[in-house]
């Protein structure tokens, strides 16, 4: 049985107990929200992984994506990237490999880390079709379901599956005269090309019951993919994207009623004034299914700094109620991310998630503690609460003045040194509160 089915029977699973302890929440609340479809737990029994809860009332989770391209295939580097993502605090990892021996790469990544692993099975199906049949559009539809089940049997915990693309949404894309940014989802583009070439409906939409049956069998979380997500802020929330969101929210409910854990994916590029409305609509239409925001990127003019444009969008998304964000690295729009890009992306996304949780969960305890440590110039305490203590220590050590207390930003003009001892009584009273 799935976590959802077990919760409906009143069972609090070991994973629910672990998540409740980590989050400081009553296990019964976790069980109830899993039963309602408001929390999902990516935990395929075929592979032991860290228990992670995604959804209502929980801290915002961060996903890191890695994977080969057809131009850069380096298994060892992908494993290194996976380990860095785990080391720097990602909650989950997606292997999006499209080049090389995809199965071998996935196996190596899954053996290297303890995080729940996600995939897009459509990628491997199309890669096999290109190699075997000479073109992705010649893929037999049965191959999609074969690859999906094979990856589930290997222990994948959640899957992005592009079920919301159908003949209606493709026609809407044509009628609105395409887009400024084009179609930027690899899975979405391949599926649309397949549908147009074969003049057939998307098998993942037409046979959605088969998709649900496969994922339910292994208790894999169905992440309803955003194949028509905007790749430019001027395309955000256009008709085709909103139509896909409506379909995905409906499918989330259908999957949930069948006993399959489901969540919905959100837009890639979006201006900040449209983020809240998007989340409100998704939550209302899906019955508060967890919302997985891809980024989102909030301006199109910052290649090389898109981990920053994304962190802005992710912080707002988290504050407005998004449950799960996918990091973006500095290499976005420029090339395949390298290990150092993964570190930057994870840290930026974690900062954004925390900024959002400060509002959504009113969680400011760490901020208060690090502030007091700064006031008292307790450097080790500051590093303890820093989101990246390694980077903080590196910067401090390179600029050390050898005086222990102050730093080289102000030196002897340190504001806290100037007032040290003057407000000791007030300080003692304040810190008791």
Same domain, 197 and 216: yes
Number of neighbours of residue 390 by Cβ within 10 angstroms:
13
Which two three-digit tokens encode residue 104? 């071998």
Which two three-digit tokens encode residue 103? 């199965």
What is the model's pLDDT at position 430?
Answer: 67
Same domain, 398 and 265: no
Domain count, the chain: 2
Same domain, 139 and 266: yes
How deeply is 167 buried, as exposed, middle or buried, from its count of CB atoms within 10 A (0-12, 13-18, 19+)? middle
In this structure, what CATH number is given to the domain that contains residue 210?
3.20.20.540
Same domain, 356 and 416: no
Same domain, 284 and 422: no
Task: Spell out, as residue ranges, where the chain has pLDDT lower than 70.
Answer: 403, 425-430, 432-433
What is the model's pLDDT at position 198?
Answer: 97
How deeply is 421 buried, as exposed, middle or buried, from its count of CB atoms within 10 A (0-12, 13-18, 19+)? exposed
Q: What's the whole-model pTM score?
A: 0.95
What is the model's pLDDT at position 185?
Answer: 92
Tens digit of each residue's pLDDT (9 = 90 or more) over 47-57? 999 999 999 99
- Give the E-state strand segments of 96-195 in sequence order: 117-119, 158-161
Same domain, 276 and 205: yes
Domain membership of residue 396 as a residue range = 365-432
Assign residue 73 a region: left if phi > 0, alpha if psi is -120 to 50, beta otherwise?
Answer: beta
Residue 99 forms part of a structural domain: yes
What is the model's pLDDT at position 431?
Answer: 72
Q: Are the C-beta atoms of residues 19 and 51 closer than 8 Å to each other?
A: yes
Contacts of 215 (CB under 8 A, 6+ apart): 148, 152, 159, 221, 222, 255, 260
Rounded-to-5 percentages of helix, strand, coil across the chain: 55, 10, 35
Residue 36 forms part of a structural domain: no
8-state DSSP, 60? P
């Amino acid at each position: 049985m799935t976590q959802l089915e077990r919760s409906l029977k009143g069972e609090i699973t070991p994973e629910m107990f672990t998540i409740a302890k980590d989050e400081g929440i009553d296990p019964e609340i976790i069980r109830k929200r899993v039963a309602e479809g408001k929390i999902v737990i990516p935990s395929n029994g075929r592979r032991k992984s860290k228990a992670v809860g995604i959804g209502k009332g929980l801290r915002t989770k961060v996903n890191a994506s890695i994977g080969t391209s057809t131009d850069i295939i380096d298994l060892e580097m992908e494993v290194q990237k996976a380990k860095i993502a785990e080391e720097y605090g990602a909650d989950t990892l997606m292997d999006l490999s499209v080049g090389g021996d995809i199965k071998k790469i996935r196996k190596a990544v899954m053996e290297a880390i303890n995080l729940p692993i996600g995939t897009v099975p459509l990628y491997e199906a199309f890669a096999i079709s290109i190699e075997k049949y000479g073109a992705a559009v010649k893929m037999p539809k049965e191959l999609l379901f074969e690859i999906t089940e094979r990856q589930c049997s290997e222990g994948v915990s959640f899957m992005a599956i592009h079920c919301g693309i159908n003949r209606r949404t493709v026609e809407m894309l044509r009628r609105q005269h395409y887009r400024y940014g084009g179609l930027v989802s690899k899975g979405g583009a391949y599926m649309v090309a397949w549908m147009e070439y074969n003049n057939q409906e998307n098998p993942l939409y037409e046979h959605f019951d088969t998709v649900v049956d496969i994922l339910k069998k292994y208790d894999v979380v169905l992440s309803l993919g955003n194949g028509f997500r905007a790749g430019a802020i001027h395309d955000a929330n256009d008709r085709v994207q909103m139509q896909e969101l409506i379909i995905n929210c409906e499918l989330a409910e259908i999957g949930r009623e069948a006993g399959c854990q489901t969540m919905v994916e959100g837009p890639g590029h979006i201006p900040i004034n449209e983020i809240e409305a998007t989340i409100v609509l998704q939550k209302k239409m899906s019955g508060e299914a967890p919302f997985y925001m891809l980024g989102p990127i909030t301006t199109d003019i910052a290649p090389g700094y898109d981990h920053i444009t994304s962190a802005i969008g992710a912080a707002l998304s988290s504050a407005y109620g998004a449950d799960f964000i996918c990091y973006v690295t500095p290499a976005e729009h420029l090339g395949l991310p390298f290990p150092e890009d993964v570190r930057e992306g994870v840290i930026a996304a974690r900062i954004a998630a925390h900024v959002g949780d400060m509002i959504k969960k009113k969680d400011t305890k760490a901020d208060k503690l690090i502030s007091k440590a700064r006031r008292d110039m307790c450097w080790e305490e500051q590093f303890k609460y820093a989101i990246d203590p390694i980077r903080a220590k590196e910067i401090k050590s390179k600029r050390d003045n050898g005086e222990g207390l102050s730093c080289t930003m102000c030196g002897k003009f340190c504001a806290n040194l100037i007032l040290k001892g003057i407000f000791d009584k007030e300080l003692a009273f304040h810190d008791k509160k």
